[in-house]
Structure 1
Amino acid sequence: MLKIIRHVVRKLKYSILDLTPIILVVSFFQIVILQKPFPNLTEVLIGLVFVVFGLMLFIEGLEISLFPIGENLSFDLVKKGSLFWLLLFSFLLGFATTIAEPALIAVAKEAAEIAVQSNLIHADIESSYAFGLRLSVAIAVGLAILVGIWRIIKGWPVYYLIIGGYVLVIIITYFAPEEIIGIAYDAGGVTTSTITVPLVTALGVGLASAIEGRSPLTDGFGLIAFASLFPMIFVMCYGMLMF
């Protein structure tokens, strides 16, 4: 019991340290720059306590659940010796974690509403336009994870793909409709979601650990940066079709 309490206290301490810079910045601007007291200070403090405990539980959940799941699945699929199932799992993992991402749903809905207000699309297709945005981003992330896993298997340096991806983004930006470029660049940030990052990272590390001659440090990481490129490309291509 004492060991559990010490573990919880240590995790709480880490959570508080992680949130301290944010608290200091907000407090500085509220008190020194704006020179106003915090509105609803009691509610703010209660919410801060919930955030600290929530962050602690979230990180603990990643460590004891999501990371081991991703590593074990990739390791077992390699032992099974089926490249097809490994690549299919990689695609479906990226697709599933992205299509249900709340931030992407909100961004797609907002983009569709603004497109209707700007007379870029008809109000009748607002919902289908928003779903099309979500679908294009989800497919993009799924394909990016698939290609990233193929990179680890082949041993290609990750910077080759990242540099090539950014060159492609720049080229497509020149041809893409102006109305979609900002949305496309924001869509790249969906890969930093709270579910996609730990699962994809664990998948890459587990795969690199399972393949002889691969380093988990140099080969296992980099999937997230690479996956951020594909949504930009796919959304701009989606905009070319729509506009």
Structure 2
Amino acid sequence: MNEKLKEKIKESLASVLPITAIVLLLSITIVPMEVGTLMLFLTGAVLLIVGMGFFQLGAEIAMTPLGQGVGGRLVKSKSILWIAAVCFAMGAIITISEPDLQVLANQVASIPNQVLIWTVATGVGVFTTIAVLRILFKISLAKMLTVLYVLLFLLSFFAPSEFIAVAFDAGGVTTGPMTVPFIMALGVGLSAARSDKDGANDSFGFIALCSIGPILMVLLLGIFYHPTDAVYEAVKITPVHTTHDVAMQFLLAIPQYAKEVLISILPVAGVFILFQLFSRHYHKRQVFRMSVGILYTYLGLVLFLTGVNVGFAPVGSLLGSGLGEGNLKWLLIPIGILIGYYIVKAEPAVQVLNEQVEDLTGGTVSRGMMNAALSIGVACAVALAMVRVLTGISIYWVLIPGYILALVLCRFVPPVFIGIAFDSGGVASGPMTSTFLLPLAMGACTAIGGNVVSDAFGIVALVALAPLIAIQIMGLVYAHKSKTVPQPSAQLSDDIVIELEEE
């Protein structure tokens, strides 16, 4: 086996093992499960670990170089209109390729799937263009985010109340495992080719801005369609009695996800082929290596999504129902904290972002620091989500103070941490959140007798909010310890430019 692949699978194992152990412990103590259901979960965990390993390696050797190559070429163009058009197309194509968007479309019953998908893709395309223009014209990310989030909350007051949580969830799920590696690398390529002292700082913020587009567009759709029946069908647990039944559940699901991921990845492969034909940017050896990387990405996503949807989602719903039915409802909060702390490490795009952050900051922000801050932040977010499930309080009571705090912190932290924080928000809320935590919240909400649409939805939005605060607090601590604002950008940008020129 490829040594690099072994390394990635070991990293995946370390990420997924804690959440697996937590579920096993709960199944023995508080929420007993049938052996067949537990076997579904364990098999799903194995597929998830192997899938994450393949995906991370594929993203590293294919998606990241492709995004950097496109970004580096674009910035050399003198036509702003051409740059804007290409970036719009890239943002829209990569969003349509996002598996998480299909999940969201199925959740929103009042809007046709294709209408929602294309509208959200348009929103990401527009904001990808805005993110590129921000880099080219050196516009402050903090000021832009402040204006846009104020606009979002003003607009949300005109949308149906039961649709607010769904809209903010959209911002998290559309920046998932397909979108993050490419868009992050696109920002790196653009900012590095600009070659000034703020280049590395400005390579962050792409995901942050692209997360705003879906929220804005889904709010507008909510206003336009006046949805009143946006419900999510709870995950059904298929009865399994033997190991053969377990194997058949996964074998029957693999073709479905293989088809979904193939449709998702074909546009990306098309971008790679067209870019190479017109630019001749990569050598033959690089083309072969990146082709293998795209294949790894495809295989990894198929295994990951099959494992998560068949093995993890049913167990999440079952755990939520079991915890919500008894007299120990309050245990949802500490268990939510524990699950939230570990589940973010199992998000494939999180590890991709953490590696890029460590590389771009020259080790100033290490993977360990990122993992710790994200885990603590998401643990707090899941705790708040469980409080909402138990009490039914409006999501505004969390989102508005949370975003105000995040935007105020922007005035006091080093610029590089602002971009990293807001990018992390979109990345942390990926497939594991939507297919394990959301069913967990829904199962608990149903058992308690709450309103699933208003009380369970919003957990993705809260997970996306948490890193905005946690990473910036980490930035404050770093700035306080160093006594000066760190400046890794200038040398870092020069190094990246030299590397791109050598390619």
Contact 2:192/2:200 (<8 A) preserved: no
- Give SS of 1:79's match: coil
CA–CA separation in structure 2 for the residues paired with 1:44 and 1:241 = 40
Q: Alpha-carbon deviation of 1:172?
A: 0.6
Q: Alpha-carbon deviation of 1:224?
A: 1.0
Correspondence for 2:75: 78
Tell whether 2:193 aligns with 1:233: no
CA–CA separation in structure 1 for the residues paired with 2:152 and 2:146 = 10
Correspondence for 1:64: 61
Corresponding letter in the other structure for 1:190:
V
* Change over 3 Å in CA distance of 1:216–1:238 after alignment to 2: same
CA–CA separation in structure 2 for the residues paired with 1:175 and 1:184 = 13
Corresponding letter in the other structure for 1:136:
T
Correspondence for 1:212: 195
Tell whether 2:165 aligns with 1:182: yes
Q: Alpha-carbon deviation of 1:179?
A: 4.2
Tell me the alpha carbon deviations over residues 143-166 of structure 1, each in whole angstroms, 9 at most, x when there is no partner: 111101111111122121222111
Q: Which runs of at least 4 in structure 1 moved beyond 6 Å after TM superposition?
A: none
Task: Report matched runs for 1:144-183 at 5 Å.
Answer: 144-183=127-166
Correspondence for 1:133: 116
The runs of 5 or more residues in structure 1 that have no matched partner are 116-125
Residue identity over aligned pairs, in percent, reads 33
Contact 1:94/1:145 (<8 A) preserved: yes
Corresponding letter in the other structure for 2:36:
P
Q: Alpha-carbon deviation of 1:61?
A: 0.3
Tell me the alpha carbon deviations over residues 2-51 of structure 1, each in whole angstroms, 9 at most, x when there is no partner: xx643333222111112123223222322233255653555544433322
Correspondence for 1:10: 7
Tell whether 2:89 aligns with 1:106: no
CA–CA separation in structure 2 for the residues paired with 1:64 and 1:203 = 14
How many pairs were matched up?
226
Bigger mean CA offset, 98-107 vs 38-47: 38-47
Contact 2:5/2:54 (<8 A) preserved: no
- Give SS of 2:6's match: helix
* Change over 3 Å in CA distance of 1:60–1:178 after alignment to 2: same
CA–CA separation in structure 1 for the residues paired with 2:38 and 2:210 = 40
CA–CA separation in structure 1 for the residues paired with 2:223 and 2:40 = 46
* Change over 3 Å in CA distance of 1:136–1:52 after alignment to 2: same
Q: Alpha-carbon deviation of 1:214?
A: 5.1
Tell whether 2:44 aligns with 1:47: yes
- Give SS of 2:157's match: helix
Tell whether 2:96 aligns with 1:96: no
CA–CA separation in structure 1 for the residues paired with 2:186 and 2:175 = 15
Bigger mean CA offset, 50-59 vs 181-190: 181-190
- Give SS of 1:236's match: helix
TM-score, normalisation: structure 1:
0.83
Over the aligned positions, Cα root-mean-square deviation in angstroms equals 2.3
Correspondence for 2:30: 33
- Give SS of 1:193's match: coil
Contact 1:140/1:234 (<8 A) preserved: yes
Tell whether 2:184 aligns with 1:201: yes
- Give SS of 1:13's match: helix
Tell me the alpha carbon deviations over residues 108-135 of structure 1, each in whole angstroms, 9 at most, x when there is no partner: 24323xx3xxxxxxxxxx6xx4332222
Correspondence for 1:122: none
* Change over 3 Å in CA distance of 1:174–1:195 after alignment to 2: same
CA–CA separation in structure 1 for the residues paired with 2:50 and 2:187 = 29
- Give SS of 1:192's match: coil
Corresponding letter in the other structure for 1:82:
S
Corresponding letter in the other structure for 1:187:
A
* Change over 3 Å in CA distance of 1:233–1:6 after alignment to 2: closer
- Give SS of 2:203's match: coil
Corresponding letter in the other structure for 2:88:
F
CA–CA separation in structure 2 for the residues paired with 1:143 and 1:176 = 21
TM-score, normalisation: structure 2:
0.42
